[in-house]
Amino acid sequence: MSRPDLIERLAVQTAERAQAQLQRRLRVIERAEGPFIESNGRRLLVFCTNDYLGLAQDPRLISALKHAADASGVGSGSAHLICGHRREHAELEEALAEWTGRERALLFSTGYMANLGVMQALLQRGELCVQDKLNHACLLDGAQLAGAALKRYPHTDLDAAARQLRSDVEGCALLATDGVFSMDGDIAPLRELATLCAQEGATLMVDDAHGVGVLGTDGAGSVAEASLSERDVPVLMATLGKALGCNGAFVAGSATLIDGLIQFARTYIYTTAMPPALAAATHCAVTIARNESWRREKLNALIQRFRHGAEQLGLPLMPSRTPIQPLLLGDAQHALEASRTLEAQGLLAVAIRPPTVPQGQSRLRITLSAAHEEIHVDRLLEALASLRLADAPV
Ligand code: PMP
């Protein structure tokens, strides 16, 4: 039997994607400085990072990283359970638990791995996993990896979620939702979901990758903003590479949850612990994110300035009060052209196209940061005005 060649098949798929003009492209960034980057010899004002509090280049984080590297070296040398679990990790976990009001927290090397690990550790084959249709890809992948009976309800549709939770799939049930939706910027109806899960005996998991640092009075995230306790949201996951400006992720919850993850989450057990110096820098970022509420205030003022200006221009805003402020353009080619025109004017806002978002819902995913100034938002609005997006068919 002659088998088709795997790599050749992949090449055909790649060519098809290019033909559909949906190819993803890598860009080398030479330098990053505040909200600017240098790429291909050009300086661009960036509106697409997740560095919402402007901490990624904070000198205090850099100094914490350098100090810890001087003391502990670069790599952790092994997985946490072998001999990679350093004091820096333990202290960061304590700080994260305290911040989010949870008993314990556990570090993972990335958010993607945290979600895969949680799902695989909690769910047994064939058990019910109910998810919002717009959840991040790694929550969906996690449910698939666990072999769960995955049911996806239309975005924030509580009735549909209730119906799915009442389906006759036997065993335990997990309902997982993004806290802030990564491509739309809106916030999940967390209080209602918590009530629903309590009624139906399901466990609620919130991925607050885009909420932690940004929402809530001291930045503890969407779950804290909704005043939901560990009982309401037993599984809280968030990433460290967005508002905290670092890298990695954590899961916070009861000691029982964390002890169980240490035993059973394969993406925790079988991978190298994050560099301890990075944990030290992240700890510094947590302290700053908690204490410097002016960053959230500045960010919120910039968000309002952008929305006000965009409304006046009739731009296709989406209902979001978070730093994720997409402009829904519909057609993939149209979104790509808008992004290219902005880039020609020295602004970087990438087009998000299928399969990342549904067909016909391509958009410019504009994100704002406390690293921006009003003058930057005004420059963006001016450039957007020149694109005549208001006239575009969605
Ligand atoms: N969850 C959400 C909601 C995300 O947006 C992302 C990253 N884009 C992740 C998880 C994955 O996190 P990481 O980048 O740390 O793997």
Q: Check whether 393 has a pLDDT greater than 60.
A: no
Does the residue 13 lie in any domain?
no
Whether residues 212 and 328 share a domain: the answer is no
CATH number, domain containing residue 325: 3.90.1150.10
Rounded to 5, what percent of the chain is helix, strand, coil? 45, 20, 40
Does the residue 148 lie in any domain?
yes
CA distances from 301 to 19, 320, 370 (A): 42, 14, 9
Residue 222 tokens, joined: 């969407």
pLDDT digits (tens, 9 = 90+) for 304-331: 999 999 999 999 999 999 999 999 999 9
CA distances from 115 to 26, 137, 157, 249, 328 (A): 25, 10, 22, 9, 28
Beta carbons of 209 and 136 less than 8 angstroms apart: yes
Is the bond leading into 275 cis (omega within 30 degrees of zero)?
no
Please work out whether the CB of residue 182 comes within 6 Å of at least one atom of ligand 1.
yes
Helix spans in the chain (H): 6-19, 59-72, 87-100, 111-122, 137-146, 158-165, 190-200, 222-225, 255-264, 266-269, 276-291, 293-313, 332-344, 374-387
Of 118, 136, 322, the one to substitute when testing ligand 1's pocket (max ligand atoms within 8 A of C-beta) is 136
Whether residues 87 and 167 share a domain: the answer is yes
* Local confidence band at 394 (pLDDT 50, 70, 90 cut-offs): low
Residue 7 burial (C-beta neighbours within 10 Å; 0-12, 13-18, 19+): exposed
Beta carbons of 161 and 140 less than 8 angstroms apart: no
Please work out whether the CB of residue 249 comes within 6 Å of at least one atom of ligand 1.
yes
Does the residue 16 lie in any domain?
no
- Binding-site residues for pyridoxal 5'-phosphate, please? 111-112, 182, 210, 239
Please work out whether the CB of residue 88 comes within 6 Å of at least one atom of ligand 1.
no
Q: Check whether 289 has a pLDDT greater than 70.
A: yes
Comparing CA positions, the residue from 324, 117, 136, 105 lying closest to residue 215 is: 324
pLDDT of residue 391: 59
- Binding-site residues for substrate, please? 24, 136, 356
Please work out whether the CB of residue 136 comes within 6 Å of at least one atom of ligand 1.
yes
Q: Classify the C-alpha dihedral 251-51-133-187 as positive or negative.
A: positive
Does the residue 15 lie in any domain?
no
- Among residues 267, 291, 315, which one ends one of the domains? 291
pLDDT of residue 392: 56
Residue nearest atom 9 in ligand 1 by C-alpha distance: 111
- Among residues 291, 310, 338, which one ends one of the domains? 291
Q: Check whether 332 has a pLDDT greater than 80.
A: yes
Query: For the chain, what is the domain count?
Result: 2
pLDDT of residue 235: 98
Whether residues 175 and 277 share a domain: the answer is yes
Q: Check whether 383 has a pLDDT greater than 60.
A: yes
Of 239, 242, 244, 322, the one to substitute when testing ligand 1's pocket (max ligand atoms within 8 A of C-beta) is 239
Please work out whether the CB of residue 138 comes within 6 Å of at least one atom of ligand 1.
yes
CA of 185 to the centre of ligand 1 (A): 14
CA of 388 to the centre of ligand 1 (A): 32
pLDDT of residue 355: 87
ipTM of the complex: 0.99
Residue nearest atom 15 in ligand 1 by C-alpha distance: 111
- Binding-site residues, please? 24, 111-112, 136, 182, 210, 239, 356
Comparing CA positions, the residue from 116, 96, 115, 114 lying closest to residue 105 is: 96
Whether residues 313 and 346 share a domain: the answer is yes
**Low-confidence winner among 16-20, 124-128, 216-220, 276-280 (lowest mean pLDDT):** 16-20
| Cross-strand pairs, 153 | 132
pLDDT of residue 388: 75
Mean pLDDT value of segment 221-228: 98
Does the residue 126 lie in any domain?
yes
CA of 136 to the centre of ligand 1 (A): 7
Whether residues 184 and 196 share a domain: the answer is yes
CA of 8 to the centre of ligand 1 (A): 30
Beta carbons of 237 and 251 less than 8 angstroms apart: yes
Phi and psi torsions of 330, nearest 5°: 90, -80
Whether residues 116 and 183 share a domain: the answer is yes
Q: Which of ligand 1's atoms lies nearest the C-alpha of 240? A: 15
Long-range CB contacts (within 8 A, 24+) of 97-100? 97/252, 99/218, 99/219, 99/220, 99/286, 99/290, 100/212, 100/220, 100/221, 100/223, 100/224, 100/236, 100/238, 100/252
Whether residues 321 and 374 share a domain: the answer is yes
Whether residues 198 and 228 share a domain: the answer is yes
Give the CA-trace dihedral at 268, 270, 275, 280, to 10 degrees: 20
Please work out whether the CB of residue 282 comes within 6 Å of at least one atom of ligand 1.
no
Phi and psi torsions of 46, nearest 5°: -95, 130
Which residues are the active-site residues? 182, 210, 242
Q: Which of ligand 1's atoms lies nearest the C-alpha of 179? A: 3
Mean pLDDT value of segment 126-146: 97
Whether residues 70 and 210 share a domain: the answer is yes
Phi and psi torsions of 232, nearest 5°: -70, -45
Residue nearest atom 5 in ligand 1 by C-alpha distance: 182
pTM over cut 0.90: yes
Whether residues 30 and 94 share a domain: the answer is no
Whether residues 40 and 65 share a domain: the answer is no
Does the residue 183 lie in any domain?
yes
pLDDT of residue 390: 64
Comparing CA positions, the residue from 303, 260, 240 lying closest to residue 93 is: 240
Q: Which of ligand 1's atoms lies nearest the C-alpha of 208? A: 3
Whether residues 124 and 179 share a domain: the answer is yes
- Among residues 252, 274, 291, which one ends one of the domains? 291
Mean pLDDT value of segment 150-158: 98
pLDDT of residue 23: 82
Residue 66 tokens, joined: 């350098």
Domain that holds residue 311: 24-53+293-391
Q: Classify the C-alpha dihedral 367-373-374-376 as positive or negative.
A: negative
Rounded distance, CA 162 to CA 159, Å? Answer: 5
CB atoms within 10 A of CB 165: 21
Does the residue 9 lie in any domain?
no
Please work out whether the CB of residue 316 comes within 6 Å of at least one atom of ligand 1.
no
Does the residue 310 lie in any domain?
yes
